[in-house]
Chains A and B, each alone.
Chain A
Amino acid sequence: MDISLLAQFTVNGLMLGMMYALVAVGFTLFFGVLDIIVFSHGDVVMVGAFAALTGHYWLTGIYPDMSMWVELFFISCISIITVAAFGMIMAKTMILRLRSASPLNTLLATMMLGTVLREAVRLFFPGGSNPKPFPVLLPDISASFGDFTLRFDSVILFVLGALLIVSLHLLITKTKLGMAIRAVAQDEETARLMGVNFTLIVLITFAIGSAVAAFAGVMNGLYYNEINFGMGLLLGAIGFSAAIIGGLGNIYGAILGGFLFAGLQTLGAVAMPFASAYKDVFAFGVVILIMAWKPTGLIAEKTSERV
């Protein structure tokens, strides 16, 4: 295989990995504070993308000749704020209510919520059952090296994603809020005793996780220039897989898992030239093998079972 093709596959894989990682981070954050899986997270990404699109319609309606960068900034803000608010409402009305029930209930309830979101967008967003074009808001510049095309917008998106992850990391490890989140994640009761407002921290965590998902949605829209109501389904399943193979409750695990899964898919497509359709079979097969090898994920949770 020649080098330019390899470079192209690597870039594709990295972009995919960044998106998966951003989704997986949400899964792992929620698991951290409440020990639950919020399966609707993939569809929240979709809602984020559609919120941004609504923002685009609205803004271009008022200021038709707004500059690309300004619009990008504003629609990202609209999407992130709406979805973060949605995340808090979801946590307050549903997730916290379900805490006393079994984890399976939460899993199923959130899966159903995902379906409700998907169907709601399909039915009630104007023309929602069709794929929607997402506005081009990044300069259309690319550099070609033989068969390898490096697009400027991909680079920007990748850098933005990386920045987001780094700042999330700093937030969790360096700030007081982050300390509170970690305290709740480690031991709810002790955290309460130390004066941490548990409900507030949970709500904030959901706002943060959903905001990251909204960003992933906008990124998805800008990268593919097309969004549709069904895009969250597989994204959710993959984000969940990535969070788990990385090791739940660990942000690095989620990032590792995201890139690993993207790598597996790309590898599957490259390594089996005659049967690239099998790439998902390959990726999920390897996921099962990893689980057999490392039963608590690649970066294991630091917990000891209390007997």
Chain B
Amino acid sequence: MKTFNQKIAITCIAVAVMTFSLVAAPNFANAKDIVKVAFIGPLTGGVSANGIGGRNSAELAVKVRNEDPAAKYTYEFVGMDDECKPNVGVQVATKIASDKRIVGAVAHYCSAVALSAVKIYHRFGLPVIVWGAVHPDVTYGNKFNEIFRVNGTMINQNETAAKFMTSNGYKKFVIINDTTDYGKAHKEYFSKFIVENGGEIIESFGVTADQQDFTAELTKIKKLDPEVIYFGGLTPVGVRIRSQMNKLGINAQFEGTSGLKSDAYIEGLGDLSEGTLSFIEGAPLEKLPGGEFFSSEYTKVGYDQAAESYGPFAYAAMNLLLDTIEEKGPNRKAVVKALNAPAEYDSIIGKIDFDDHGQNTVAAISKYVVQDGKWVLWEDSEYASGKRSLKK
């Protein structure tokens, strides 16, 4: 009996030692404190390509930082899925915000989700930098100190878009928008700026985000004979509409918003995507000093999905968050305070300068057109030089 007890005791000690060494080993190996930062975006569902691109980019920022020996902390990356659904977003936001070890987050591609989640970040005092959602109310609809945004709003986007279109001689527009606040607000601002610039909105159609067949709407649109079809919504629906326009023989210029500018759009349409226009905030990546670095690092890690158009924003937002934590320490209040102080930051998306609502005011809007299966900056395209022409 005694030997049996001894055996048990020895086993217990062995197990305890092993457990301890397993738990303690990483701590000994790495003397730096571990700080958690979070990312939220749509990783499943129709716009998951953009979400995964953003997730990878934000993760890349953390990876690069962890490899930097000068960094004060080791960062742990927490990626979460909001499914582009407001209700899921609220849940995930609660989870992130109530986890006290998470110091800050880079969150939301979908405006609908961002709008519903901001008040939770405010309640829990979590600093959040929005990386993709463009609805103005995300920053301007509240007075929350905790909410910042590196990308511009749809107001700037639509103002540029409307000016550009009318100055190119287009007068008659039809709007198709999805029925979330994102789509509705795009419709509102675009209509406003088009009318100010002397254009005319003939008709607008609301569609749901999971609709597959648009022939009924497009048949009506064909009858209305617009010069431009403006689409306020995200890539999957945009692909369907553009492709069915062709089926019905509608020969209008197709124009999208920032939600359309993704590689998935071109991949989904092939040659049909030629000549589609899109407007997006931020200076073009390849023209910025850090852009090259980002692209090369991204390919080096070997992600199997592209960063997509908002990937650089997610990267810049995460970098800004990490910089602030490095400087002020892993404390939510300190980070919020530091980000609210007036300052200008350099990033791969250009200068970042937050106004009193936490909105980045550097609002360079880039115009893009699809040329030979690539989104090309308007100024560099053969459309601008007159070699090719948009539809009239």
Contact = CB atoms under 8 A, between A and B. Distances in A.
Interface in A146-193: 147, 149, 151
A144 B270 CA distance: 25
A226 B220 contact: no
Contact of A265 (B216, B247, B249, B268): B216
Interface in A1-27: 5, 8-9, 12, 15-16
Given A226-B269, A230-B210, A277-B208, A131 B217 contact: no
A142 B251 CA distance: 14
B252 to A, nearest CB: 14
A131 B210 CA distance: 12
A228 B305 CA distance: 17
A52 B220 CA distance: 32
Interface residues of A, number: 37
Contacts of A122: 44, 48
Contacts of A234: 210, 212
B179 interface: yes
Nearest to A133: B270
Interface stretch (B2-10, B185-193, B232-240, B339-347): B232-240
A128 to B, nearest CB: 10
A252 interface: no
A266 B213 CA distance: 11
Nearest to B239: A131
B244 A224 contact: yes
Interface residues of B, number: 37
B27 interface: no
Given A5-B223, A224-B244, A129 B215 contact: no
B217 A276 contact: yes
Nearest to B250: A149
A149 B267 contact: no
B220 A277 contact: no
B247 A223 contact: yes
Contact of B268 (A226, A230, A266): A226
B155 to A, nearest CB: 25
Nearest to A4: B223
B205 interface: yes
12 contacts: A8-B219, A12-B216, A16-B213, A132-B267, A226-B243, A228-B236, A230-B236, A234-B210, A269-B220, A273-B220, A276-B217, A276-B220
B336 interface: no
A234 B49 CA distance: 22
Contacts of A270: 216
Contacts of B244: 224
B222 interface: yes
Contacts of B179: 277
B269 A133 contact: yes
A276 B247 CA distance: 20
Contact of B49 (A9, A130, A142, A225): A130
B9 to A, nearest CB: 49
Interface in B262-277: 264, 267-270, 272
A279 interface: yes
Given A130-B49, A225-B272, 12 more contacts: A5-B223, A12-B216, A129-B49, A130-B236, A131-B236, A131-B239, A131-B267, A133-B267, A133-B269, A224-B212, A224-B247, A280-B208
